[in-house]
Chain A
Amino acid sequence: MKKILFAILPLILLSSCKGTHGEKTIKLENQTVYDAPYRYENSDDNKARIVYKNGVPVLIQSASLRTDLLKNADFLKAAEMEDYFAIAKETNMNTMEISLMWSEIEIDKDIYSFDELDTYLNFAKEYDLKLNIIWYGSFVDGETHTANIPKYISENPNEYPLIMDLFDFANYGHCEIIDWNNDKLLNREQIALYSALNHVYEWNHNNDNYDPIIMVQLGQGVDRLQRWRVNQYKIPGQDGEIMSFDEAWALSNKYIEAMGKAVKYSKYKALTRSEFCEQSAVVNYVRNIKNIEYVDIVCPTYLHEITTMKNGIKNFVDEYEEMPVINSENWANDINYKQIMVSTAMGGSGYVSYQLSAPRYFPESPKGTLYKRYNPDGTTLEEKFVEHFSRATDTKLVNGLLNKAFVPATNASRGNFASLGLDSSFNDKVGEERTQKIYLKSGILVDYTNPEDVIGYAIYDRNFIYCTSSKDAQLTVNNCTATVAQQGQFNEEGEWESAGNVTLENNKTLIMEAGIAYRIRLATINPLPDPATLISNQYRSTSDSIRS
């Protein structure tokens, strides 16, 4: 008996070192216990949009939080990140992008810990935010960073071979190119992501089906391997020569498909997306990835200028009529708020400001963060997060304006979404010359007295014009018959909540107060005048009314 005890004791001690979660073998099986909470469909105006399970459309207004760097550079636990969720909510975000590392959920081989993930989910629920998970596994920007993968993978190159061993990479651990052709690796990673989402299902079950996660991004910068890394590192292909682009694409596509399958087989079937680096148009490699069975959405990113944003979103919307377009990363710089409006006006269903606030101990790019680094000595949220210039204020303003009319903003196609105050040709005009004239494809002609430094919208959706302005202004609707105007906003159920009728001067002019959302009911709309008439009366299209 003593012998048995002494033999068992070391084993007990060993297993207790690994954590409290039991070891089990998991297989990837398609789980059908819960319907996908988020799906996409086209609106009456034929705009692709995300809808929640109750049919209410979703307009993603998100900020990126580099939780991986908060952990690896700032050495924080998830529990210490609550203030970041609070400030995102304070900035009128409804979603956060968080990077979930494989290494933080599979802490040792087959040993899972979801404590950190739970903390993120709990914060999301507490602050009424949804999450998009950026999966930080073995493929990040075309590289493998050992900080993201479990040690049993990175320390076992015989079982999980490398194509190239590169260099130490500071807070990212060691940089290498792992062999994504290795089915064993992909299966291990699949199981980890699958398990994470199965856990989200469990969490959801215990949290009133809050449905915390809208989508999962499969890898990060999936085009970087082919477009940058192969040549940068002279990555060898299977024939020993520099890897061909086709071979590189095949590798990344295999990875994306495997991770997508993990999400779609899980109990919590989030939407899946794939993003590219500085992708301003749909090209063949984007099409190839969109064709992967488990990829729902392909995303443009880093559309640096107003015009680039306009054309980039337009290109994706035109190419994919049934896919909601999400700008999944864009610098949170001084024009971030304008970019949000332009992205939405051109048909986008989501926008991610990169990033909310930089980790304290990682260099910050001057290109963009809404807030300066976290100040731990602050006693209020304002003191903890000081904004860069007026970026956060401006972004909060636009998020707020769009939130008030998120239903028409997600329903209306770009021909019926007039963004106001984004036509630079008015910059040097004064007085009445500042009246911006925009025609909507439905036939409505909008005249907007255009104060300086203003932003707003006029959206037509199912017999109503919804409008708002960041400053006091006038909006006149022509070529239609208006009946009544109200101020108010949409509630979470997607229903308009009126705050009372307002006067419509001459049955067509609304005197708008700054920041108030209105809607005007239209009885009839005349056909759109011919182009010569529009030109002679200086009406521009919704797209043409966005000029940088």
Chain B
Amino acid sequence: MNFKKKTILLLPLLFTMLFSCNGQNNNNSSSLDSQTEVDSCASEPIYHGEDIEVSKIISNEYGRNIEVEGKDFIYLGTQIRVDAFMNCDKYTYADVKYLFKEAAALGVNCIQVPVEWSKIEFAQDEFNFKYVHEMLSYANEYDLKVEIMWYGSNMCGDTHSYSVPNYILADGRTYPKFDALRTGEFWNYYGILWYLDFDHPNLVSRETNAVRKLMDYIYTFDSTHGGKKPVIGVQIENEPDAFPRWRIDQYEVKSPTTGAKMTMEEGFEKVCNSVDALGKEVKNAKYKVYTRVNFANATNGSVYTSSIVNDAPSYVKKVNNLEGIDIVGDDCYMSSVRNVKGIINMFNSLPNNFGHIAENAGNYQNTPSLILAALAQHGGYSIYDLMTSPFFIQNGSGDVNQGIIDPGETANTFVYKNHYEETKLLISGLKMVESEIYKLDKDNVFAFNVSSDYPSKSKTQSISSKHSTIEFTTSQTALGFGLDFGSYIDLFLTHDASIKLSNGTITEVHTDSLLDDVFTSSGSVTFNNNTVNISGGQLYRITYTSSGPIESTTWANIGVS
């Protein structure tokens, strides 16, 4: 080897050593990017850059509802706080998967699953979608639809270090934070608390970029995993209204412009700017889904004035009017059937909105009554939550356990609360009428045995739609619903009961299933004197001839006593 060759060999060595001196980490970030990892389940792409319309909000003469892949979608969900299970309880993906299975077993058709910004962007522009991949794979496996809950800069009015990438939090010059009490403190649920300047252009740019990457990944995932379209919607942040409504006062948050305590108006402006930008990013994606925002008990318990449902608060209207947000819902945390009824109507009165309960505690024993009240009013309902994080339960206040399921001794064992089976049964009935429940006036929806917060064991109740009157009698705590289309009623009760129809004459009664608007009879049912004995857990179609229009009393029979 001559000298020149030696020089050639040594020069790269020297350069290598020089670079290794400067502390730069040259790790190849591509190994973190699940899009470049081998996915044994992935198939050839079926999408090729075209827009895929998955869901949207549609309207008819009776209101609005969610449509998924061209069909009405009954909004019956439960939330799975995967963030808590993984951050605090240290669940593995295998542990989390059991929860998806449990959600499917409960019978809901959609689940709300958080995606924390920090779990997809590990460092600036280093994206890793393994978490999302796992969540969507489980959803597909259990035939669940997913609403992604985007946990970004504003989680219940705070910024949490568990949810936001550290490169954002470490660079206050580029991504300013508000001055406030409590900043920098540790909360064992969520890490260190901060208040990022939610609508600062630098932050919005990075957060929308992450959302765009997420939506692109979902598109790619679905394209290569059978096109089952698991994601149907995106919740933008979580209860972002908590910031202006509570945090500013609680923690003396200062305005970056005035230096004085921030006004509520300024706080809302920042929140609105942020969620609007994020919502628009979702809506601009090729994978088209609806966006929504949930409020933290928007009514503060004030649902009615006398018997009239109040107007939605102005900030709810403001968010509802944002271009990037399709629908708004309430996390009401109320066990009052009457209040749930009122809130659905309040939110349905907003232009282009689909009223829904985005969260309500799953430990309410009257969850079936609450679900029925919401659905009977042309709304939707999601249970918070399927199972509360054991860590939250052990470290939180007494009422933090809001799951409809309790944790068992291990991550894959569960204890079902007393109302679990009843809830599951009602959900099974409601899902049978998915294709028609939003296709009629709520005045023609009977809701039985929900006049009080809890169903009576023995009850006789007479309710009128616009076409018929039904006298409902149970001695077995049955509750349920009937959808009156003028010539037939599709009816489901959770337990045995009898119904007697008046203002019309029954001509036929059948049981069995309804799928995509097609009723398949498994046989006729006898009836006598316009009276039918109903067995719990079955769908009935009662065909009748109406004697003419009458005044509906459906509203008056939900949550009145």
* Shortest Cβ gap from B284 to chain A (Å): 30
Please tell me if the beta carbons of B179 and A14 are within 8 angstroms of each other in the complex: no
User: Within 8 Å of chain A (Cβ to Cβ): is B308?
Assistant: no
Residue of A nearest to B173 (CB): A361
* Shortest Cβ gap from A226 to chain B (Å): 16
How does the 8 Å CB contact mask read for A462-484 relative to B, with 1 for contact and 0 for none? Answer: 00000000000000000000000
User: Within 8 Å of chain B (Cβ to Cβ): is A382?
Assistant: no
User: Within 8 Å of chain B (Cβ to Cβ): is A34?
Assistant: no
Please tell me if the beta carbons of A363 and B179 are within 8 angstroms of each other in the complex: yes
User: Within 8 Å of chain B (Cβ to Cβ): is A240?
Assistant: no
A366 to B176, CA, bound (A): 16
Please tell me if the beta carbons of A363 and B183 are within 8 angstroms of each other in the complex: yes
* Shortest Cβ gap from A384 to chain B (Å): 16
- Which of B14, B17, B18, B181 has a CB less than 8 Å from the CB of A366? B181
A151 to B22, CA, bound (A): 13
A2 to B183, CA, bound (A): 60
A151 to B188, CA, bound (A): 27
User: Within 8 Å of chain A (Cβ to Cβ): is B180?
Assistant: yes
A10 to B19, CA, bound (A): 12
Residues of B within 8 A of A358 (CB): 179
How does the 8 Å CB contact mask read for B3-29 relative to A, with 1 for contact and 0 for none? Answer: 100100010011001100111000000
User: Within 8 Å of chain B (Cβ to Cβ): is A75?
Assistant: yes
Residues of B within 8 A of A372 (CB): 259
Residues of B within 8 A of A360 (CB): 172-173
Please tell me if the beta carbons of B3 and A2 are within 8 angstroms of each other in the complex: yes
Residues of B within 8 A of A9 (CB): 10, 14
A6 to B179, CA, bound (A): 56
- Which of A14, A151, A167, A171 has a CB less than 8 Å from the CB of B172? A171
User: Within 8 Å of chain B (Cβ to Cβ): is A168?
Assistant: yes
Please tell me if the beta carbons of B10 and A6 are within 8 angstroms of each other in the complex: yes
Residues of A within 8 A of B177 (CB): 362-363
- Which of A17, A170, A233 has a CB less than 8 Å from the CB of B194? A170
Please tell me if the beta carbons of A167 and B192 are within 8 angstroms of each other in the complex: yes
How does the 8 Å CB contact mask read for A48-90 relative to B, with 1 for contact and 0 for none? Answer: 0000000000000000000000001111000000000000000
Please tell me if the beta carbons of B14 and A363 are within 8 angstroms of each other in the complex: no
Stretch at the interface among B161-169, B264-272, B404-412, B426-434: B161-169
User: Within 8 Å of chain B (Cβ to Cβ): is A365?
Assistant: yes
A283 to B6, CA, bound (A): 71
Give A152-180 interface residues, CB cut-off 8 Å to B. 167-171, 175
Please tell me if the beta carbons of A6 and B6 are within 8 angstroms of each other in the complex: yes
User: Within 8 Å of chain A (Cβ to Cβ): is B454?
Assistant: no
A290 to B436, CA, bound (A): 76
Please tell me if the beta carbons of B169 and A168 are within 8 angstroms of each other in the complex: yes
User: Within 8 Å of chain A (Cβ to Cβ): is B102?
Assistant: no
**Would A167 and B191 be within 8 Å (CB), given that A6-B6, A17-B22, A75-B173 are in contact?**
yes
User: Within 8 Å of chain A (Cβ to Cβ): is B131?
Assistant: no
User: Within 8 Å of chain A (Cβ to Cβ): is B186?
Assistant: yes
Report the count of interface residues on B (CB-CB < 8 A).
Answer: 35
A462 to B252, CA, bound (A): 48
A342 to B13, CA, bound (A): 66
A288 to B103, CA, bound (A): 54
Residues of A within 8 A of B186 (CB): 232
How does the 8 Å CB contact mask read for A352-375 relative to B, with 1 for contact and 0 for none? Answer: 000000111111111100001000
User: Within 8 Å of chain A (Cβ to Cβ): is B420?
Assistant: no
Give A225-248 interface residues, CB cut-off 8 Å to B. 232-233
Give B190-243 interface residues, CB cut-off 8 Å to A. 191-192, 194-195
Please tell me if the beta carbons of B161 and A366 are within 8 angstroms of each other in the complex: no
Please tell me if the beta carbons of B172 and A73 are within 8 angstroms of each other in the complex: yes
Residue of A nearest to B6 (CB): A6
Residues of A within 8 A of B18 (CB): 13, 17
Please tell me if the beta carbons of A18 and B21 are within 8 angstroms of each other in the complex: yes
Residues of B within 8 A of A6 (CB): 6, 10
Residues of A within 8 A of B13 (CB): 10
* Shortest Cβ gap from A291 to chain B (Å): 30
Residue from A72, A75, A364, A372 having most chain B Cβ neighbours under 10 A: A364
Residue of A nearest to B17 (CB): A10
User: Within 8 Å of chain A (Cβ to Cβ): is B378?
Assistant: no
Please tell me if the beta carbons of A10 and B14 are within 8 angstroms of each other in the complex: yes
How does the 8 Å CB contact mask read for A1-43 relative to B, with 1 for contact and 0 for none? Answer: 0100010011001100110000000000000000000000000
Residues of A within 8 A of B21 (CB): 13-14, 17-18
Residues of A within 8 A of B254 (CB): 364, 366
- Which of A14, A17, A75, A167 has a CB less than 8 Å from the CB of B162? A167
Residues of B within 8 A of A170 (CB): 161, 166, 169-170, 184, 192, 194
Please tell me if the beta carbons of A233 and B173 are within 8 angstroms of each other in the complex: no
Residue of B nearest to A169 (CB): B192
Residue from A170, A360, A372 having most chain B Cβ neighbours under 10 A: A170
Please tell me if the beta carbons of B166 and A168 are within 8 angstroms of each other in the complex: yes
**Would A362 and B172 be within 8 Å (CB), given that A10-B13, A18-B21, A167-B191 are in contact?**
yes
How does the 8 Å CB contact mask read for B146-181 relative to A, with 1 for contact and 0 for none? Answer: 000000000000000110001001111100111111
Residue of A nearest to B23 (CB): A151
* Shortest Cβ gap from B296 to chain A (Å): 23
Please tell me if the beta carbons of B161 and A232 are within 8 angstroms of each other in the complex: no
A175 to B188, CA, bound (A): 13
Residue of A nearest to B166 (CB): A168
**Would A171 and B180 be within 8 Å (CB), given that A6-B6, A17-B21, A366-B252 are in contact?**
no
* Shortest Cβ gap from B257 to chain A (Å): 14
Residues of A within 8 A of B259 (CB): 372
* Shortest Cβ gap from A69 to chain B (Å): 9
A74 to B252, CA, bound (A): 23
* Shortest Cβ gap from B396 to chain A (Å): 13
Please tell me if the beta carbons of A232 and B17 are within 8 angstroms of each other in the complex: no
Please tell me if the beta carbons of B252 and A232 are within 8 angstroms of each other in the complex: no
* Shortest Cβ gap from A109 to chain B (Å): 13
Please tell me if the beta carbons of A364 and B179 are within 8 angstroms of each other in the complex: yes
A128 to B542, CA, bound (A): 95
Residue of A nearest to B3 (CB): A2
A75 to B174, CA, bound (A): 12
A336 to B252, CA, bound (A): 19
* Shortest Cβ gap from B328 to chain A (Å): 30
* Shortest Cβ gap from B6 to chain A (Å): 7
* Shortest Cβ gap from B78 to chain A (Å): 28
A479 to B378, CA, bound (A): 88
Residue of B nearest to A173 (CB): B170
Residues of A within 8 A of B3 (CB): 2
A366 to B252, CA, bound (A): 7
Residues of B within 8 A of A151 (CB): 23
Residue of A nearest to B170 (CB): A170
- Which of A13, A17, A74 has a CB less than 8 Å from the CB of B173? A74
A365 to B179, CA, bound (A): 6
- Which of B22, B178, B188 has a CB less than 8 Å from the CB of A232? B188
Residues of A within 8 A of B10 (CB): 6, 9
Residue of A nearest to B7 (CB): A6
A332 to B3, CA, bound (A): 69
**Would A366 and B179 be within 8 Å (CB), given that A9-B14, A168-B166 are in contact?**
yes
Residues of A within 8 A of B169 (CB): 168, 170-171
* Shortest Cβ gap from B157 to chain A (Å): 15
Given A73-B173, A171-B169: 13 more A-B contacts, CB < 8 Å: A13-B21, A72-B170, A74-B173, A168-B161, A169-B161, A169-B166, A169-B192, A170-B166, A175-B192, A360-B173, A365-B179, A366-B180, A372-B259
Interface set of B (CB-CB < 8 Å, partner A): 3, 6, 10, 13-14, 17-18, 21-23, 161-162, 166, 169-173, 176-181, 183-184, 186, 188, 191-192, 194-195, 252, 254, 259
Provide 5 A-B residue pairs closer than 8 Å at the C-beta atoms, listed in order of the A residue. Answer: A175-B192, A233-B188, A364-B179, A366-B179, A366-B181
Interface set of A (CB-CB < 8 Å, partner B): 2, 6, 9-10, 13-14, 17-18, 72-75, 151, 167-171, 175, 232-233, 358-367, 372
Task: Give 3 nearest A-B pairs by CB, closest first.
Answer: A17-B21, A361-B172, A168-B166
